[in-house]
């Protein structure tokens, strides 16, 4: 099995099989991260597609200064915020699709958790998602967000405090 940097090197040479494998490895993670930002499944799907197109086009520029996952999630973050800005400016028609739901979990708890997450400031929600759901370290999260590690720790602390208040 090829490593992510090896796959990117092959993608830089327009290897579609390598691209497919990288997509398979990272699509769920990208989608979940985009969903944590956009809060709407149809927008998260669009972010996933735009992110992977940017990976295809930008694979030659990857310099291994960070992990491939961090690089890809950075692209997804930019794509998500660009999409939200375009929608806010009216450059695209917003779709009326339902919010995130979790049919496998306890419905009431899922609704409470979603409300609690929605109540968090965006910066706290973003840091929380990267650390708890994407399993990035504080250092990787700081690198991805372009902020000091102490700021990530602070956002995580305040996010936990705010979630505890909302869920109490």
Architecture of domain 102-168: Orthogonal Bundle (1.10)
CA-angle at 111, arms to 106 and 112, nearest 5°: 100
State the Cα–Cα distance between residues 102 and 127, nearest whole angstrom.
Answer: 21
User: Average of pLDDT values for 127-148?
Assistant: 89
Q: With 50 as the cut, is the pLDDT of residue 100 above it?
A: no
The answer to whether 57 and 25 have CB atoms below 8 angstroms apart is no
Predicted pLDDT at 108: 62
Cβ atoms < 10 Å from Cβ of 90: 8
User: Average of pLDDT values for 109-132?
Assistant: 84
Q: With 90 as the cut, is the pLDDT of residue 164 above it?
A: no
Q: How remote is the C-alpha of 127 from its chain's centroid?
A: 10
Question: Which one has a higher pLDDT value, 25 or 99?
Answer: 25
Where in the chain are the domains? 1-100, 102-168
The residues, ordered by sequence, that sit 6+ positions from 66 with a Cβ below 8 Å of its Cβ are 74, 140, 143, 144
Q: With 60 as the cut, is the pLDDT of residue 102 above it?
A: no
Question: Which one has a higher pLDDT value, 133 or 18?
Answer: 18
What mean pLDDT, rounded, does the chain reach? 86
Over the stretch 52-73, which tens digit does the pLDDT of each residue have?
999 999 999 998 888 999 999 9
Architecture of domain 1-100: Orthogonal Bundle (1.10)
Q: With 90 as the cut, is the pLDDT of residue 19 above it?
A: yes
């Amino acid at each position: 099995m090829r490593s992510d940097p090896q796959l990117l090197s092959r993608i830089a040479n327009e290897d579609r099989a390598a691209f497919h494998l990288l997509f398979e490895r990272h699509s769920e993670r990208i989608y979940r991260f985009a969903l944590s930002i956009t809060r709407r499944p149809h927008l998260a799907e669009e972010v996933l597609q735009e992110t992977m197109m940017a990976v295809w086009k930008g694979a030659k520029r990857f310099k291994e200064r960070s992990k491939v996952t961090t690089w890809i999630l950075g692209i997804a973050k930019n794509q998500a915020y660009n999409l939200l800005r375009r929608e806010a400016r009216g450059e695209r028609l917003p779709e009326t699709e339902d919010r995130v739901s979790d049919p496998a979990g306890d419905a009431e708890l899922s609704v409470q958790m979603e409300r609690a997450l929605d109540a968090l400031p965006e910066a706290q929600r973003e840091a929380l998602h990267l650390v708890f759901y994407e399993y990035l370290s504080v250092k990787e999260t700081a690198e991805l967000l372009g902020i000091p590690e102490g700021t990530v720790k602070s956002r995580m602390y305040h996010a936990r405090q705010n979630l505890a208040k909302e869920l109490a």
